[in-house]
Amino acid sequence: MNSKRIGRRTVALQTPPSVLSFANIGGRMEGQGPLAKYFDELCDDSFFGEKTWEKAEATMQRRVLRRALEQAGLKPGDVDYVLAGDLLNQCIGSSFGLRELGIPFFGLYGACSTMGEALALASLLIDGGFAETVAAQASSHFCTAERQYRMPVPYGSQRSPTAQWTATAAGCTLLSAQGPGPYITHVTCGKIVDQGITDPNNMGAAMAPAAYDTLRAYFADTHTGPADYDAIFTGDLGELGHEIVMDLFRQDGVDMTRNYEDCGMLLYDRDRQDMHAGGSGCGCSAAVFNGYLLTGLKQGRWRRILFAPTGALLSPTSSFQGESIPGICHLVCVSTER
């Protein structure tokens, strides 16, 4: 077995990739939230100057990558691969948005875990010597997600208390074999976990068991616990999913109350903005990671964090057919020290 593997599911990267630059973009609701100052760009126009919401999401993908490249002083030709995904059928937000840049492209689908999946795979490519510079990114758009997964926005359907608000946002991280950090030091691949939840308006409950499974596997593989990290962030579980994860660990005798937060609870003011259980969508954790989290690491707020975004692997067809909702969670450890 390769010496980089520790335990069953975790890889300790021999040459941890460095965050070269990062960028994020948000919409009107994100600009009204508590993390507004951590965005590189905020736009009140949900169309982002385009004629359709789907084209708007593609524009976000393109613009967030260009912003990350500008901050690093690079051109598209300097990037070996771009790993990107979104929630749209066939990932057209990513592929249509990035088609003009001419960068070798891997399209990913991990639902709301896509940013973690992209970071994990990009890190493995760099540590394995297959690439020098890789872009990892993800996006979502409230209106495109509502049109595809639920009701058309003009319908004005009532949302249940467990429902979450899909972020109109995108985030991009440029990783490199060289750089001053922060660094991605460990990667834990998630397993598909399905506890039989069928309600598409309660994705926090569907995804929480996957977050618990991946975090527990990482702690076991690395012989660490929550207290060994300055902060632990899951992605887009919202208020209910966050409580479920803490309760599952509580049953194991593990206290997660001191330093565990969820990106879906951070992006919006849930009381003032009426976001019910919180935020969701690929762009939620991508925007929080590429704004609030990486800025905090750069500024010394934290030295070592876990970023573990979660995804609900459903489709409109599977929901119509009464299928349960499988969950997935991919984890990366990010540290200011190599």
pLDDT recorded at residue 155: 45
Q: Which residue segment(s) compose the domain that 112 sits in?
A: 5-176
Q: Are residues 154 and 285 in the same domain?
A: no
Q: What is the pTM of this model?
A: 0.94
pLDDT recorded at residue 338: 87
Q: Are residues 172 and 44 in the same domain?
A: yes
pLDDT in tens, 36-49: 999 999 999 988 99
Domain boundary among the residues 176, 196, 218 is at 176
pLDDT recorded at residue 289: 98
Q: Are residues 155 and 33 in the same domain?
A: yes
pLDDT recorded at residue 65: 98
Q: Are residues 223 and 238 in the same domain?
A: yes
Q: Are residues 80 and 225 in the same domain?
A: no
Q: Are residues 136 and 187 in the same domain?
A: no
Q: Are residues 58 and 117 in the same domain?
A: yes
Q: Are residues 203 and 295 in the same domain?
A: yes
Q: Are residues 28 and 112 in the same domain?
A: yes
What residues of the chain score a pLDDT lower than 70? 1-2, 148-165, 275-278
Total tally of structural domains belonging to the chain = 2
HEC profile for the chain? CCCCEECCCEEECCCCCEEEEEEEEECHHHHCCCCHHHCCEECCCCCCCCCCHHHHHHHHHHHHHHHHHHHHCCCHHHCCEEEEECCCHHHHHHHHHHHHHCCCEEEECCHHHHHHHHHHHHHHHHHCCCCCEEEEEEEECHHHHHHHHCCCHHHCCCCCCCCCEECCEEEEEEEECCCCCCEEEEEECCCCECCCCCCCCCHHHHHHHHHHHHHHHHHHHHCCCHHHCCEEEEECCHHHHHHHHHHHHHHCCCCCCCCEEEHHHHCCCCCCCCCCCCEECHHHHHHHHHHHHHHHHHCCCCCEEEEEEEEECCCHHHHHCCCCCCEEECEEEEECCC
pLDDT in tens, 215-224: 999 999 999 9
Q: Are residues 52 and 132 in the same domain?
A: yes
pLDDT recorded at residue 121: 98
Q: Are residues 130 and 223 in the same domain?
A: no
Domain boundary among the residues 149, 176, 203 is at 176
Q: Are residues 313 and 211 in the same domain?
A: yes
Please say whether the dihedral angle defined by the alpha carbons of residues 160, 54, 286 and 36, taken in this order, is positive or negative: negative
Domain boundary among the residues 125, 147, 176 is at 176
CATH (domain of 212): 3.40.47.40
